[in-house]
Homo-oligomer: A and B are copies of this chain.
Amino acid sequence: MVTPIDPTAVGFLLAENRSMPMHVGGLALYKKPEGAGRNYVRDLFQQMRSAEEIAPLFLRHPHRSARTAGQLVWEDDEQFDIDHHLRHSALPKPGRVRELLELCSRLHSTRLAWDRPLWETHVIEGLSDGRVAMYSKLHHALVDGVSAMRLLAAIHSSDPDERDMPAPWAVRPRPPRQAQPETETNLADVSMQALRTAMGITAEAAGMPGALIRTLTKSIRNETSALSLYAPRTILNQQITGSRRFAAQDWPIERMRAIGKATSTTINDVVIAMCSGAMRAYLLELNALPETSLVSMVPIGLNAKSSQIASAEGGNAVGSIMVKMGTDLPDPAARLRSVHASMKAGKEALSSMTQVQILAMSALGQAPAILPVMLKMGGITKPPYNLIISNVPGPRTTQYFNGAQLMGNYPLSIPIHGMALNITCTSYDGMMCFGLTGCRRTVPHLQKLLTYLDDELLALEKAAGV
């Protein structure tokens, strides 16, 4: 079956090259259920492998057809081979988290070949603590990063006793749980249909490059925040290579909430302040800290009832704010204040935006990675912002996949030319899970940022007196 590819997806496909693979990923860690036998992982893998019917999203690959005058189209893979996409791997000894992150870095560095459907899932055993890992990658042309996280999250259940749960790519015979209470908007409940609808609308928006991009640029530069004009040059804002380094860790959300409460800031403010302090320490050590503050682009959810924009968050659109991180300030509390003020001003600016502007923001929010490509910013010397920090809400309760408890869930994102580091966080079961994805050459010793994030959380607690 041949179907057209929407303009956003075409953009992601064409923007891709060896230095800039355009896939997002997720690393999930699981604890085996009580009494799991020695064949538990193999059986889980075999069950995932045995999906009878594959969902259309996981079957199609991009194809240049002579019939469509050389345009890219989606075509179903007539020779679909699950063994190419689902893989059973193991970590070399000693099987620490370090070996796992090395494997994920390597897997995330490799481009997905266009001649097959654009996804892979690796079931990984061999962690010395007995946990099981699952690394998945999906091309950004199939799903945006937020939807990818949701898609992967949607396989879970809050019921530890549920079994025979299908893999993300399996066509479900019927809705998995029909009598689902609607009280809490659980991310696992967002249907693929809703995601695709949301993406369709975004794609339309992104498909009007002229006027829309002008609005978008105006929105960022003048109305949302003029800050981006002042983003300093940093080592992060260079051409990148295709080598990736991934680092991941989680911290209790309760610690961030306590700091927020004591300082009248939000959890998200604290997350960004942690990144700010960590970036300051990291750049100081490299003797590469700019005199003026780093500016981060932070996508946020917007109440936009009047905008008629359907989105994956159910009626909310996604906008973005330029945040002055305060990396020039030596005091952790001052950095948090800078972040908070910036976020507040940004939100106020967004709330006064027109429908078209929100539509533009929405396109931006869905496609932050492609923005510099669209605006041809990659080649300019002055970056519009220094890095992207996203915080995507996740499930609040303990989740299970076929009885295995989800212990952590870490996003892998897309560094691009001019934006060598991406920090994406997601909340899960009382933890804030950080995923740092960078170009290994442009962002040396990226894993040190984990230590600095930890240091900064302690420093913020001390400053807030909690």
Contact = CB atoms under 8 A, between A and B. Distances in A.
Nearest to A77: B18
A38 B93 contact: yes
A81 B243 contact: yes
Contacts of A116: 18, 242
Contacts of A125: 92-93
Contacts of A131: none
Interface string A120-157: 00000110000000000000000000000000000000
Contacts of A17: 115
Contacts of A90: 89-93, 126
A123 to B, nearest CB: 8
Contacts of A84: 106, 109-110, 242-243
Interface string A82-123: 011001111111100000000000100111010110000000
A19 interface: yes
Nearest to A241: B79
A41 interface: yes
A115 B38 contact: no
Contact of A19 (B38, B79, B109): B79
Contacts of A88: 92
Contacts of A91: 90
Interface in A214-245: 241-243
A81 B241 contact: yes
Interface string A37-81: 010011001000000000000000000000000000000000101
Contact of A93 (B41, B93, B440, B441): B41
Interface of A: 17-19, 38, 41-42, 45, 79, 81, 83-84, 87-94, 106, 109-111, 113, 115-116, 125-126, 241-243, 440-441
A227 B195 CA distance: 60
Given A113-B111, A116-B18, A106 B83 contact: yes
A36 to B, nearest CB: 12
Contacts of A113: 18, 110-111, 113
A128 to B, nearest CB: 12
Contacts of A38: 93-94
Given A18-B116, A84-B106, A111-B113, 15 more contacts: A38-B93, A38-B94, A42-B92, A79-B241, A79-B441, A81-B241, A81-B242, A84-B109, A84-B243, A87-B106, A89-B92, A90-B126, A92-B125, A92-B126, A110-B113
A440 B83 CA distance: 11
Nearest to A113: B111
Q: Which of A38, A89, A94: most chain B Cβ within 10 A?
A: A89
Given A87-B106, A92-B89, A93-B125, A115 B18 contact: yes
A120 to B, nearest CB: 10
A189 B113 CA distance: 38
11 contacts: A18-B79, A18-B115, A18-B116, A38-B93, A79-B441, A81-B109, A83-B106, A84-B243, A88-B92, A89-B92, A111-B115
A152 B116 CA distance: 30
Nearest to A79: B241
Closest 7 pairs (CB-CB, A-B)? A18-B115, A90-B90, A79-B241, A90-B92, A81-B243, A88-B92, A92-B125
Contacts of A441: 79
Nearest to A111: B113
Nearest to A88: B92
Contacts of A87: 106
Given A90-B92, A90-B93, A93-B38, A83 B115 contact: no
Nearest to A78: B241
Nearest to A18: B115
A317 to B, nearest CB: 37
A184 B323 CA distance: 72
A62 to B, nearest CB: 12
A243 B19 contact: no
A93 B124 CA distance: 11
Contacts of A440: 83
